[in-house]
Structure 1
Amino acid sequence: MAIKNLKDLYLDQLKDLYSACKQSMPMVTELGRAAKSRDLSEALIAGNQGIARGMEVLSELCNRHGADPTGEHCRGMEGLIIEAKKHAIETEYADEDAQDAAIITQYQRMMHYAIAGYGCVRSFANRLELDSDAAALQECLDQTWEGDRHMTKIAEGGVNMAAVDGR
């Protein structure tokens, strides 16, 4: 399908973001299982719940505009998942705190991709005067930012310090 206008781009990006979220969920589950910190593991479980809520919103918005949310494959998230698996799961760590720091790093990279996506589609919805779409996307964006801030608190609140010298 040729993208003819901002509305077409908006729908294309909603579908791409839906794909990104769908792809990220199994990796977030895997990161949660690998995490040694209970706080980190619980935050990743909560993160997956947030991703699922975001997918529901994206699906609803696509359906509202007559688009199938499953019509795309996000190569950007695919690459981030490959990196997460390599750096947080497959790398051998002698120190579990260092691995937890790597898990946080990879999770935040995936979430920053989602933050960029939600911000763009929210801006498109605003320009297209799709006020209810924009409000729903703003809520997803806010929740994703909050999850990112919570991960930073976990990292700075203990994981990174513990990983300094393998305590």
Structure 2
Amino acid sequence: MSAPANLTDCYTEELSDLWSANDQMEKVVRDLAEKAGDQKLADRLSRSADGIQKHTETIRKLLEECGEDEKEHCKGMEGLVKEARKHALDADIEDDDVRDVVIIAQYQRMCHYGICGFGTAKAFAEALGKSDHVAKLDKITESIYDADENMSDLAERSANLEAR
């Protein structure tokens, strides 16, 4: 994509980047779910991946409404995915409880990146007067916050304790 010329361009570029980020995150979250030792963690990650997939469909629809249909490769999420693979999937961690703690940490890093991106997109949509887009982006952001908080709760109540 070329350099943005206006706020509409900034908005569509942000959505295009989020589309790519979500595609990348969904794949690695499914892999993390398969590697998780704790069934509750695996289930939460699987549900999260399904939610990410739904968010991606929303992004695609918002982009279509803006006359765009391409995603822009997200290098930020690419780096986070590489880190998740390195530390949680490819690392030679023998203790499942320790791996689960690492999985949670990597998952939350990706969530926080998503919160930032969706918050930015929402701010752009607000400035552009796209109230229907704002509502959808706000719902996605709330969903990511909830997933992050649920993962923190799981870590605090069980995973971190088991990894001691």
Percentage of pairs with the same residue: 37
User: 5 Å matches for 1:17-166?
Assistant: 17-68=18-69, 70-164=70-164
For the aligned residue pairs, the C-alpha RMSD in angstroms reads 0.7
Checking the alignment, whether the CA contact within 8 Å between 2:88 and 2:106 is kept in structure 1 is yes
Checking the alignment, whether the CA contact within 8 Å between 2:48 and 2:147 is kept in structure 1 is yes
Deviates more, 1:89-98 or 1:53-62: 89-98
Mapped partners of 1:159, 1:120: distance in 2: 32
Mapped partners of 2:113, 2:105: distance in 1: 13
Q: Give the unaligned 5+ runs of structure 1.
A: none
Mapped partners of 1:77, 1:107: distance in 2: 11
Q: Which residue of 2 aligns with 1:13?
A: 14
Q: Quote how far apart the aligned CAs of 1:24 are.
A: 1.0
Q: Deviations over 1:120-140 (max 9, x none)?
A: 000110111100000000000
Mapped partners of 1:97, 1:142: distance in 2: 28
The number of residues matched between the two structures is 163
- TM-score, normalization: structure 2? 0.97
Mapped partners of 2:93, 2:5: distance in 1: 49
Q: Give the unaligned 5+ runs of structure 2.
A: none
Mapped partners of 2:55, 2:3: distance in 1: 26
Mapped partners of 1:114, 1:104: distance in 2: 15
Amino acid at match of 2:48: G
Runs of 4+ aligned residues of structure 1 deviating over 3 Å after TM superposition are none
- TM-score, normalization: structure 1? 0.96
Q: Quote how far apart the aligned CAs of 1:25 are.
A: 1.2
Mapped partners of 1:26, 1:111: distance in 2: 14
Q: Quote how far apart the aligned CAs of 1:111 are.
A: 0.9
Mapped partners of 1:40, 1:132: distance in 2: 34
Mapped partners of 2:55, 2:71: distance in 1: 17
